[in-house]
Structure 1
Amino acid sequence: MSPNLTTCETMLTYSTSIELRLSLLLNWFILLPAFPIIGYSLYFSFTQRVFHKNTQIQITIHLAALLVHCVGRFALHTADLFNYFYPYQSGCEILPNFYRCLIFRFLYNAGQATVSMTPISITLERLIAVKYNRAYENCSINYGIFLGVFQIFLAICYLFTRYVHAAFTPSSFTFFYCQTLVSSTISTAETIIPLSMIICAQIISFVVFRILEIKNKKLRAVADINLSTRYTLDQGRRSFVALKSFIHFNCITISTILFGLVLLHLASPFFTKPNYMAIIELTHAIPLYGIIVCIGVWWKLRILDGEQRRNITMALRGKPIHTDLYFQMFEKQLE
């Protein structure tokens, strides 16, 4: 569609919006530390045996999705901020390019969708680990691959609801801000129902993960199991303790974002379009979530490793250990 005076003036309201500029600047600066932190976490997860190999696959996919989201977001925000602050004569000079919006907003959405599905796949992986605890340590990596594919499949299903009515070539509309639904005829119900389903799935994953953690603790309290099985259960405890903060924070963060998105969508008539987009970008705090969860899980693993080293040292020195039945049995094996 050829730009006209109204189009140019509308674009000016976006580019000069203080709220939108501040929102983009804040998110842009958060992305700067997000890249090295998430990137190193992905490298570490890919090269080190931190969890069971099947758990590790889910974590690796999660971190890769965080990076994909950050790449798309960084490209979008950098281009918008450059246009908004660069001297221009008319608002029409800085109208977003359709294909830039399509490609980078897709990366933005794809990463966020995959991150949202991670608690489901990790909870299913822990369910298998608890159910087959006696043999899980040496089980096939196919479980992890299948769950990883399932996680991506769920993300694709959600993305389908976002893009089913969207245009993939320029048509009779104008982008003022790179937003998926601008080129879509999606209804309010089609927007809210998928979001509500993800929120419910997040809450169910939260509850089931907690139940599995309690089940693992009860299994570890049983005395008449061999050392190998107890080691597997102890490694399961490590995964539950380290990932508990991840599951909880992911569920709380993603559910809050999606619930806020539902409310914001319903209340959109009360906001100007630039302010609506400013709030959208602030509520989609995925890079900040990535920084916090990477540091949180790393810190928890550090505590667990320190505790394990102390227990092994005490067992080798013949000192009594009261914190864990596995180490009590390990101590007896040394006698």
Structure 2
Amino acid sequence: MSTEDHCQIMQKLSTSLLLRFTLIFNLATSLIAFPMVIAASIALWKARVAKLFHINVIIIFQVHLIGFFLHCFSRIVLHCLDLYNYAMLDYCDMTPSTIRCFAFRIQYVFGLWLICATTVPLIIERYIATIKSSSYEHMGCSLGIVMALLQVFLAVVPTSINFRNFSFEEPVMNYCMALKPGLVSHTEKAAIVSLCIQIIARILFHYLFKMNENLRRKQLTSSLSNRYSLEQNLKSMKTLKRFADLQSIFMIIHMALFIFILQIGPEVEKSTYISLVEMNAPYPLYAVISIIVLLKKAHLNKVKLKKTLENHVNADQNVYFENFKKFLH
């Protein structure tokens, strides 16, 4: 593409009100989400409500939050640079370098896939926690580390597919985006597979939740420690099921619109297509909503756990309160 062609395209992009609004909106949500993700990471390890979850769940969610961190960080940098260039530079000087696009866009995409990859390790961890409910609370963090490595692997594979045809032939790009309109590539196929996994995971979460409820019905004849483990596992499952609800709903809407945008891409202006693609990936907004919802749900379930144990405990009260205080502190 000639320099003159780049200048003309950049003129259209930089003067598009829709694209500017999209960049400003996503920048604003990223700036809000970024400190919230950092705060959520700290709370995940230090807040009292975090004691509702096993260390393995905490490790998995920490990797999930790292995905949000990378995605929001890259968006802040990319959108700030684009908005600055559109406002301050000449049309022919606005084009971002290909190296810059690759460096930050790969963080953008890897963070996105890291978020999506959380579901599978979480299902595996919860299944093991359910079948080993009587002894799982005393297990270490080795399973969580393995599941975290699985998350990274599941994110690396589609990210590699996404960037395997990334071209460095031209020194500049009109916009830091690798998606071509009107073509369902390996990236989109991988995303569709991810969508199917989210739906299946939601069904499996429901199945695991029912398994935990059935186990709880048998707890009256169990030991205090076993009843405690079952109640804690059930309450954490309620919070994680809410996570599965949010994840599956978000992914279904995101992917359905994503495929639709790809198909109408050749028929709309380039600036409109870019705006639609960016608006259809509101991961920073999803981060804000999911963090607030899950923290509230976890706090509510912790209160319910305390009340349920008080109502159902039939063991020696001194032993009960000793174990319960260990849980609270």
TM-score (norm 2): 0.90
| Per-residue deviation, residues 76-126 of structure 1 (Å, max 9, x unmatched) | 01101111122x3x4111111222111111111111000001111111110
Match of 2:140 in 1: 140
Counterpart residue identity of residue 23, structure 1: T
Aligned to 1:175: 173
1:275 has 2:272 as partner: yes
- Paired residues of 1:119 and 1:251 also in contact (CA < 8 A): no
CA RMSD, aligned part only? 2.3
Given the alignment of the two structures, is residue 263 of structure 1 paired with residue 257 of structure 2, yes or no? no
What is the DSSP-based 3-state SS (H/G/I as helix, E as strand, rest coil) of the residue aligned with 1:267? Answer: helix
Secondary structure at 2:118 match in 1: helix
Which structure 2 segments of 5+ residues have no match? 322-329
Residue correspondence of structure 1 range 59-78 to structure 2 within 5 A: 59-78=61-80
Shift of 1:329: 4.6
% identity of equivalent residues: 27
Structure 1 CA distance for aligned equivalents of residues 204 and 316 of structure 2? 31
Please give the alpha-carbon distance, in whole angstroms, between the structure 2 residues aligned to 1:6 and 1:18: 21
Change (3 A) 1:36 1:334: closer
The one-letter amino acid of 1:279's match is L
Q: Distance in 2 between matches of 1:139 and 1:332?
A: 25
Report the CA distance between 1:131 and its aligned residue.
1.2
- Counterpart amino acid of 1:287? P
1:299 aligns with 2:288: no
Name stretches of at least 5 consecutive residues in structure 1 with no aligned partner: 316-320
Higher mean displacement: 275-284 or 249-258: 249-258
Match of 1:244 in 2: 241
Given that 1:123 and 1:209 are in contact with CA atoms closer than 8 Å, whether structure 2 keeps it comes out as yes
Question: What is the aligned partner in structure 2 of residue 34 from structure 1?
Answer: 33
In the TM superposition, what is the alpha-carbon distance from 1:333 to its structure 2 partner?
6.2
Helix, strand or coil for the counterpart of 1:175? Answer: coil
1:194 and 2:190 correspond: yes
Displacement of 1:204: 0.7
Q: Distance in 2 between matches of 1:217 and 1:330?
A: 24
Give the Å deviation of 1:258: 2.2
Could you tell me which amino acid in structure 2 is paired with residue 177 of structure 1? Y
**Where do residues 286-325 of structure 1 align in structure 2 (5 Å cutoff)?**
286-310=283-307, 315=310, 321=311, 325=312
**Does the residue aligned with 1:177 lie in a helix, a strand or coil?**
coil
TM-score, with length taken from structure 1: 0.88
* Preserved contact between residue 102 and residue 180 of structure 1 (Cα < 8 Å): no
Cα deviations by residue, 1:195-240 (Å, 9 ceiling, x for unpaired): 1111111111111011101110110110332221211111111211
Q: Which has the higher contact order (CA 8 A, sep 6+)?
A: 2
Q: Which amino acid aligns with 1:7?
A: H
Deviations 1:147-169 (A, max 9, x none): 111111011111121012113xx
| Residues 7, 92 of structure 1: 8 Å contact kept | yes
Pick one of 180, 183, 201 that aligns with 1:205: 201
Q: What is the match of residue 318 of structure 1?
A: none
